[in-house]
């Protein structure tokens, strides 16, 4: 009855058999078997998914409308997608013949979102139908998965841009329109050039099917978007200026506090008094407790003989650095002088705001490239006096420290003239190798004796390996 079977697709929820004269299709709820002339409508669309402009997967969707109901077949298999395309090819001749018979009888042929008669052309746009005389149909073409239609042959302008998956029997529709309006078929080079020559030449003029890039903003929208860019840039500038001023003030305040604390620590590091007692015993009861940010460490330049035992550019060497903590006890070291990028300028602050979307401005304000030392009250100014390290085993080896001794003073930044207390700090290594990031145990030892001033959070952070 249906002739020789050409191909078939069997899936979990649907079976499709394609034959020479018809098709057989069934799902869980219904079935249809008959010639292609009994098929009411065929919808076929291939959708390509791209990542960074590169196609990664294609989805093939076929919907068949029959007297018994609608059937949907979806696949990502290319071979099965080609098989679904055969349903469109084989059913088109019978649907075209049926449509031409209806047109000769003066009836309107329904292609779901498009209706065609011998005198009118109608397309559904949203909830409304746009109807024009068939002589007003200026151009039509199927390109990039869209049906594009123009009206007004004298000055063409686009009136419809429909995905082919929303048009029933798209191939039959094209065949019918070619029969009714052969001079509007843009697959013919002569028609294409004529429509281009008659299209509007002004930048804000309407698009045509000959020049339209389907799925993107039309020519008029693109023109107004480009024309609006200076106004949008001015508006964004006005919005970001107050925010940039606020960020600049915050960064300038942080940089000023850093400079003040580092300068006082460096001045005292030239003449550390120390003492014979341990720093923990000498400072017992003399420091007022605060949060982890209330006390920081400063490691003064090393004596010549000890300095030569470290590499020149060893950034973990305990010299010329500050040891600071945030409110959560996260420890970090930084150079005691403010680097060039640490000096804020209004343009740098504005650049940070402009470079972020408004939803990320809070994060920009919370992050500071320079440690905020505004809450610091005490500074442990220490200098390494004795160092016992294991010998290097290779040129790239980082020798572990056996034992070290610091001379240290604790100064109060509100009264930096005289140290609050002073003494010695002894560090004994455990022989373990540490990763090359974060403060070294040798540097952390500076704050260990007086960690109680920063509270339990600071003591736990210093004890953490």
- Of 167 and 395, which is predicted with more confidence? 167
Arithmetic mean of pLDDT over the chain = 87
Q: What is the mean pLDDT of residues 61-65?
A: 91
The tokens describing 18, both together, are 């394609």
Residues 87-144: pLDDT tens digits? 988 999 999 999 999 999 999 999 999 999 999 999 998 889 999 999 999 999 998 8
- Of 429 and 105, which is predicted with more confidence? 105
Residues 259-300: pLDDT tens digits? 899 899 988 888 888 888 999 999 998 999 888 999 999 999
pLDDT given for residue 28 in this prediction: 86
Question: In the chain, which residues fall in CATH 2.30.29?
Answer: 109-214
Q: What is the mean pLDDT of residues 22-37?
A: 90
pLDDT given for residue 132 in this prediction: 93
The tokens describing 111, both together, are 């292609």
CATH number of 109-214: 2.30.29
List phi, psi (to 5°) of 79. Answer: -65, -45
165 Cβ contact partners less than 8 Å away, ≥ 6 residues apart: 43, 44, 45, 61, 63, 145
- 398 pLDDT above the threshold of 80: no
List phi, psi (to 5°) of 348. Answer: -65, -40
Q: How far is CA 71 from the centre of its chain?
A: 38
List phi, psi (to 5°) of 50. Answer: -120, 150
- 316 pLDDT above the threshold of 80: no
The pLDDT-based confidence of 341 (bands split at 50, 70, 90) is: low
Stated as kind and residue range, the H or E segment containing 58 is strand 54-66
- 410 pLDDT above the threshold of 90: yes
CA angle 276, 428, 391 (to 5 degrees): 115
> Any bridge partners for residue 120, and if so which?
133
pLDDT given for residue 199 in this prediction: 84
pLDDT given for residue 4 in this prediction: 85
Q: Are 237 and 245 in contact (CB under 8 A)?
A: no
pLDDT given for residue 397 in this prediction: 62
- 156 pLDDT above the threshold of 80: yes
pLDDT given for residue 188 in this prediction: 92
- Per DSSP, the three-state class of 154 is coil
Q: Of 417, 408, 416, which Cα lies nearest the Cα of 448?
A: 408
- 178 pLDDT above the threshold of 80: yes
pLDDT given for residue 245 in this prediction: 92
pLDDT given for residue 433 in this prediction: 64
- 41 pLDDT above the threshold of 80: yes
pLDDT given for residue 334 in this prediction: 84
Residues 209-241: pLDDT tens digits? 888 877 677 667 777 888 888 888 888 888 899
- 70 pLDDT above the threshold of 80: yes
pLDDT given for residue 13 in this prediction: 86
Q: Which long-range contacts (CB under 8 A, 24 or more apart) does 160-165 make?
A: 160/114, 160/123, 160/125, 160/130, 161/212, 161/214, 162/113, 162/114, 162/123, 163/45, 164/44, 164/45, 165/43, 165/44, 165/45, 165/61, 165/63
Give the lowest-confidence range in 71-80, 102-111, 220-229, 440-449: 220-229
DSSP secondary structure code for residue 76 in this structure: -
Spatial separation of the C-alpha atoms in residues 83 and 49, rounded to whole Å: 20
């Amino acid at each position: 009855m249906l002739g020789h079977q050409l191909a078939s697709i069997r899936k979990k929820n649907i079976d499709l058999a394609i034959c020479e004269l018809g098709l057989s299709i069934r799902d869980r709820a219904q079935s249809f078997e008959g010639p292609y002339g009994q098929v009411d409508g065929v919808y076929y669309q291939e959708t390509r998914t791209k990542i960074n402009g590169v196609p990664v997967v294609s989805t093939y969707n076929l919907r068949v409308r029959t007297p018994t109901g609608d059937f949907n077949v979806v696949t990502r298999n290319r071979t099965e997608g080609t098989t679904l395309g055969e349903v469109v090819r084989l059913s088109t001749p019978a649907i075209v013949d049926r449509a031409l018979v209806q047109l000769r009888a003066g009836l309107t042929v329904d292609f779901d979102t498009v209706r065609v008669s011998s005198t009118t052309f109608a397309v559904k746009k949203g909830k409304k139908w746009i109807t024009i005389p068939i002589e007003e149909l200026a151009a039509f073409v199927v390109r990039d998965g869209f049906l594009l239609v123009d009206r007004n042959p004298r000055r063409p302008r686009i009136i419809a841009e429909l995905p082919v998956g929303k048009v029933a029997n798209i191939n039959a529709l094209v065949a019918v329109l070619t029969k009714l309006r052969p001079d509007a078929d843009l697959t013919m080079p002569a028609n294409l050039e004529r429509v281009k020559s008659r299209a509007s030449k002004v930048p804000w003029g309407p698009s045509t099917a000959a020049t339209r890039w389907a799925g993107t903003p039309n020519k008029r929208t693109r023109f107004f978007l480009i024309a609006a860019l200076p106004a949008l840039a001015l508006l964004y500038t006005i919005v970001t200026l107050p925010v940039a001023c606020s960020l600049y003030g915050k960064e300038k305040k942080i940089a000023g506090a850093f400079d003040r604390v580092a300068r006082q620590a460096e001045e005292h590091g030239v003449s550390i008094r120390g003492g014979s007692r341990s720093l923990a015993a000498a400072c017992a009861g003399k420091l007022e407790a605060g949060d982890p940010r209330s006390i920081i460490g400063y490691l003064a330049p090393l004596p010549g003989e000890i300095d030569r035992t470290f590499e020149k550019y060893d950034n973990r060497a305990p010299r010329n650095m500050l040891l600071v903590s945030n409110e959560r006890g996260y420890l970090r070291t930084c150079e005691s002088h403010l680097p060039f990028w640490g000096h804020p300028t209004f343009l740098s602050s504005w650049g940070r705001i402009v470079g972020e979307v408004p939803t990320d401005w809070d994060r920009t304000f919370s992050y500071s490239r320079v440690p905020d030392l505004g809450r610091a009250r005490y500074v442990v100014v220490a200098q390494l006096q004795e160092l016992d390290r294991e010998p290097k085993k290779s040129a790239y080896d980082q020798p572990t420290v056996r034992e070290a001794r610091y001379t240290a003073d604790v100064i109060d930044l509100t009264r930096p003239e005289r140290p609050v207390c002073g003494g010695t700090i002894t560090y004994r290594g455990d022989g373990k190798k540490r990763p090359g990031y974060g403060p070294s145990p040798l540097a952390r030892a500076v704050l260990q004796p007086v960690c109680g001033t920063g509270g339990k959070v600071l003591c736990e952070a210093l004890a953490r390996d």
